[in-house]
A and B are shown apart, each in its own frame.
Chain A
Amino acid sequence: MSESVLGLIVTFLAIAINLAGQLGSYRLLGFGYMRSVFVGFALGGLTLGLGELARFMGADMAASRILVLLAGDGAIYVCLGYLFFNFINSGESSIRVRILWELRHAATPLDEAGLLAIYNDDLILSTRLARLVRNGQVIEREGRYVLHSSILVLMARIMRALKLLIVRRESEFD
């Protein structure tokens, strides 16, 4: 079997374990949503690591070649894991998916005013602020919201830098 096919088998197995780990830890072990995502990713990563160990241990191959192949398999796993997370997260936080959900589940067809009456920006604000508070990333103190997550600040800064680099504006509403 060629090294390409072996690499794909190991990474797809790791992704399958990631998916099963996420679903299993959420449904069967009662883990929280984000925790189940991390558990799934870690289990898949462990599978990938063990698979690669079995594949390359004792292999008559230059170290540089092994490193390149590991980088390729690792990149596939991380990218597919990121895509999987975004897929499941789309049901949690995607505005577009929520709009489509409202349109599909409305008793009668909605116009824009009807849609905005049941799903609007105030609701987005309250939902997300509540989620941030629940996750401990924001603290509510005397009626004021205080940010308590340096990781989120870093993510916001990276996204701002990418926006300025690629689309040359800070916000879609600028």
Chain B
Amino acid sequence: MIAVLLAFGSFAAAFLVHLIVWRIAVPAAALRAAAAIYAVFLVAAASGALAWAPGFGLDDGAYFGVLYGAIALCYLLTYTGIEADSPTLSIVAALAKGGERGVSAAEMVAFIRRRPFVRSRLLQLYRDGIVVERDGHIIASPHISFMFALSEFYRRLMGRTGKGG
């Protein structure tokens, strides 16, 4: 039981620290900084509990790690949507403003032209080192091949051949 309470408590504490830091100033490498905060709390809470909490064994440590890790990863994933706009939700917000009258196709095109999503994500890929520029060309780093291959593999398993995006 202590593993559950420790995971919820540690995540709440990490979120509070993250929120305070971000309210002062959002760090340049924001996602990495946020991930570092949550990782520090994971290690500190697990080490502290293993050292001092009576009856807290390795199995509890594993449960704590899985629960805390799952919550933190969920939050970090959501954070990417907080940091960068979702095109679908941006479109929804624009359509909501149109009310019952709606929004014309031309107005939607004008709306999206003010939001260069592809360029923004390309810059993020550069910043995170996932792509590099070589001789004026964009080259994908070989380090991302596993996750990318896994995503492609699952799409093939599902039999989905469209490009997505």
Contacts and interface: CB of A to CB of B under 8 A. Distances in A.
B165 A127 contact: yes
Contacts of B125: 96, 99-100
Consensus secondary structure, chain B interface:
helix
A162 to B, nearest CB: 5
A127 B105 CA distance: 13
Contacts of B19: 165-166
Given A96-B124, A124-B118, A152-B89, A68 B77 contact: no
Nearest to A101: B163
A10 B117 CA distance: 41
Interface in B130-165: 130-131, 134-140, 144, 148, 150-152, 154-155, 157-160, 163-165
**At the interface, is chain A mostly helix, strand, loop or mixed?**
helix
Interface string A66-95: 001101100110011011001110111111
Nearest to A120: B118
B3 A4 contact: yes
Contacts of B36: none
B82 A23 contact: no
Interface string A110-144: 11100110011111110111011000001101011
Q: Which of A5, A76, A91, A171: most chain B Cβ within 10 A?
A: A91
Interface residues of B, number: 85
Contact of B117 (A68, A121, A132): A121
B67 A68 contact: no
A68 B63 contact: no
10 contacts: A4-B60, A96-B121, A109-B134, A119-B118, A124-B165, A125-B109, A125-B112, A128-B87, A128-B88, A167-B82
